[in-house]
């Protein structure tokens, strides 16, 4: 933890963090490591519409759901 009590790493990277600047804010506040935990990622994909457009495009192109994931 840094002096501002920001963790040194996060393990719940999501697309919205990339799009809305949350990840940039974390980095500016001292986060130095990012991972994408598969279970957390699966929950994010299932529980958010942030991934729907890309999945629709990929499945329309013939990719299986598993391959699109």
Query: Domain residue spans in the chain?
Result: 9-63
**37 Rama sector, left if φ>0, alpha if ψ -120 to 50, beta otherwise:** beta
Sign of CA dihedral 56, 58, 62, 64: negative
Q: What is the pLDDT of residue 28?
A: 93
Higher pLDDT, 35 or 22: 22
List pLDDT tens digits, range 25-55.
999 999 999 887 788 878 888 888 988 999 9
Phi, psi dihedrals of residue 11, rounded to the nearest 5°:
-125, 25
0.95 exceeded by the pTM?
Answer: no
Under 8 Å between Cβ of 36 and 44: no
């Amino acid at each position: 933890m840094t002096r501002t009590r920001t963790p040194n790493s996060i393990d719940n990277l999501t697309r919205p963090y990339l799009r809305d600047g949350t990840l940039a804010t974390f980095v500016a506040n001292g986060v130095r490591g990012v991972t994408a935990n598969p279970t957390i990622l699966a929950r994010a994909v299932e529980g958010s519409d942030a991934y729907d457009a890309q999945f629709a495009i990929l499945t329309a192109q013939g990719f299986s759901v598993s391959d699109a994931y």
